[in-house]
Amino acid sequence: MTDERTNGDSPKVSIIIPCYNVEKYLVETLESVKAQTFADYEVLLINDGSQDHTIDIIEEYCKSDFRFHVYTQKNQGVSVARNRGMDLARGDYVAFYDADDFIPKWALENMVMAAELEFADLVIGRYRIRNVSGTKMVKSSIRLSNKRTIRRFDPDMLWAFSVCNKLFRRAAIEKLHLRFRTDLKITEDGLFLIQFAHNCGKITGAPVIAYEYRRRPFWEEASATQMASLQQLKYSHQTFQLLEKRILEDTKMEGSSEEHMDGDYAQAIKDRLIYRSTFYNRFVRSDFLADYYRKLWLSDTDLSTELEIHLEYCRQQMFPDMWEKILEQNPELRLHEGVMTRKKAAERPFVTIYLKRTLMEDEVNGILNSCYKQEMPFFEILADGELEPRVTETYKAKENFHFRKIERRLSEQVKGEFIIILDEELWFTENTLNELLSVFWERPQLQSILIPIMELKQGKMVAARCYSCKAGDVFKSPKMFRTPFLAYRKKGAVDWIEGQPEEGKGFMMKKPEGFK
């Protein structure tokens, strides 16, 4: 199909959608665009060298709707694709969408209305995350969307780097000669946004869900050996340094000496200092901790030395109370002891996950895949020796993976304060262990917790049957698949479990006498 478009009146909005191998999701995304109550737009679909049926889907939409246009290029990445879209755009405003997400039908109309009413160069709507077990709103996007006037150095801007829940005035983009950096691999949208927000005219909010981000389930993500690598950490730090330089330059204030400051000037300095400190706080929480330390076991090498350097640098730049809150709100990371190596983390797990010999090869490796994508690094895997031929070498090589020694009692081999025993296929979601620890720590009287589950049917989560139990025993957040199971405190539980018969798979529904 030709890349040429017919001449005509310019649309109000140019929607730019890079597409790369998204045949599974693209139809839903484009249908959500077509369903918009606001119709004066063009859709620039940049086919970034897709190898699947993406281009076939795109061409069908282009044939049936004159507003859709396709442009094909060899695979060069999302930034090159977005830049090409901006070069081609004719609209007064530009919206950036990804090809595997969803746009609520009232989104575009409300975003354009806010831009027109407030004469705004940038409109920020709400950002909702959709995953297999439900949805959640990004809180910073709610706060920003509720503001009629958003300050360019509003700290919430630093927690909302995505460009997809925003509407940009195209003339302002061109005036600033802005494009996405094509040499960045991570957070390139954050740099584009900050450069724009620091220099554009009015910024306003639109209290509407502007975008739904589809978080793909972990079993569709890259393998454990391809995530949280040293190279990825270097990419993150590269973007961090570029953003830091821009923020420090743009938040400089020169003028009156401190003793001659008026109230407005003093407040402006305070606001900028808070903004700077929040920047370091944001990178610690959302990048260095969330993407790397929490995923300690997904890296291709031990990242502790590099992470320790980055965290210490940020700690020195931020307000002390911000750092104290990080320590307080993340007890499962033991940050008050510094960043631990994988070897040290393996020696001091909070949780032991014990895998029974009844598991088959595809079951045990599926479980391990979900275990090693936990966002809490202090756990160990203890597996019955009979499973050794069924476990892939990638997992066997990890410092926190062990096979049970038959000659020793189980209680002598379990290092964790809490234990989970699995004798059938159950997959954890990323936050299972975090929430488990939270419940045990908040309720120290509990000796065991029944964890309800969600069942996976045809790619969707379905509530499982509720099993009767005492209210105090229920772990209320459904974070598992298939069948319910119990998690225990180690003390007194391991010996009881060890004494259970091997026949059958229902023994975990029982509870040891005296357990609350």
Query: How big is the chain, counted in residues?
Result: 516
Q: Write the Ramachandran bin of 210: left for phi over 0, alpha for psi from -120 to 50, otherwise beta.
A: alpha
Contact 102, 29 (CB under 8 A): yes
| Tokens matching residue 74 | 């060899």
More confident residue, 430 or 30: 30
- The full set of domain ranges for the chain reads 13-216, 224-339, 343-509
Tell me how far apart the alpha carbons of residues 431 and 58 are, in angstroms, rounded to a whole number: 36
Please state which of the four CATH numbers 3.40.50.150, 3.30.70.260, 3.90.550.10, 3.80.10.10 is assigned to the domain occupying 343-509. Answer: 3.90.550.10
Q: Give the CATH superfamily of 13-216.
A: Spore Coat Polysaccharide Biosynthesis Protein SpsA; Chain A (3.90.550.10)
Contact 351, 378 (CB under 8 A): yes
pLDDT digits (tens, 9 = 90+) for 164-188: 999 999 999 999 999 999 999 899 9
Could you give the residue ranges of the DSSP H alpha helices within 65-129?
78-88, 107-118
Average pLDDT of the residues in 30-58: 97
Tell me how far apart the alpha carbons of residues 92 and 89 are, in angstroms, rounded to a whole number: 9
**153-to-159, 232, 269, 274, 280 alpha-carbon distances in Å:** 12, 28, 11, 9, 14
Average pLDDT of the residues in 200-224: 83
**446-to-410, 425, 471, 487, 509 alpha-carbon distances in Å:** 22, 26, 11, 10, 16
The Cα diameter of the chain in Å comes to 82
Tell me how far apart the alpha carbons of residues 276 and 220 are, in angstroms, rounded to a whole number: 36
Contact 401, 379 (CB under 8 A): no
Give the model's pLDDT for residue 484: 45
| Tokens matching residue 256 | 């009156």
pLDDT digits (tens, 9 = 90+) for 341-397: 999 999 999 999 999 998 988 889 989 998 999 999 999 999 999 999 999 999 999
Q: Residue 49 above 90 pLDDT?
A: yes
Q: Residue 224 above 60 pLDDT?
A: no
| Tokens matching residue 350 | 């909070």
Nearest CA-CA partner of 283 in 317, 246, 250, 329: 317
Name the band, by pLDDT with cuts 50, 70 and 90, for residue 265: confident
CA angle centred on 83, ends 78 and 89, rounded to 5° = 125
Write the CB contacts of 335 (distance below 8 Å, at least 6 apart in sequence).
Answer: 311, 326, 327
Q: Residue for token digits 């706060």?
A: 143
Contact 395, 297 (CB under 8 A): no
Rounded to 5 degrees, φ, ψ at 381 are: -110, 125
Residue 231, SS3?
Answer: helix
Decide if 13-216 and 343-509 have a common fold.
Answer: yes
pLDDT digits (tens, 9 = 90+) for 299-347: 888 999 999 999 999 999 999 999 999 999 999 999 999 999 999 999 9
CA 454 to chain centre: 21
Contact 489, 511 (CB under 8 A): no
| Number of Cβ within a 10 Å radius of residue 513 | 7
CA 452 to chain centre: 24
Q: Long-range contacts: 28-34, Cβ < 8 Å, 24+?
A: 28/102, 29/97, 29/98, 29/99, 29/100, 29/101, 29/102, 29/103, 30/57, 30/61, 30/68, 32/102, 32/103, 32/104, 32/105, 33/97, 33/103, 34/61, 34/65
| Tokens matching residue 478 | 């459904």
Name the band, by pLDDT with cuts 50, 70 and 90, for residue 515: very low
Least confident of 133-137, 284-288, 408-412: 133-137
Rounded to 5 degrees, φ, ψ at 124 are: -120, 120
Q: Residue 478 above 70 pLDDT?
A: no
Total-model pTM = 0.88
R_g of the chain, CA atoms, integer Å: 26
Question: Which H or E run contains 174?
Answer: helix 170-175
Axis-axis angle for helices 263-283, 304-317 (nearest 10): 170
Strand partners, 126: 209
Give the model's pLDDT for residue 503: 43
Q: Residue 454 above 70 pLDDT?
A: no
SS (H, E, C) 269-324: HHHHHHHHHHHHHHHHHHHHHHHHHCCHHHCCCCCHHHHHHHHHHHHHHCCHHHHH
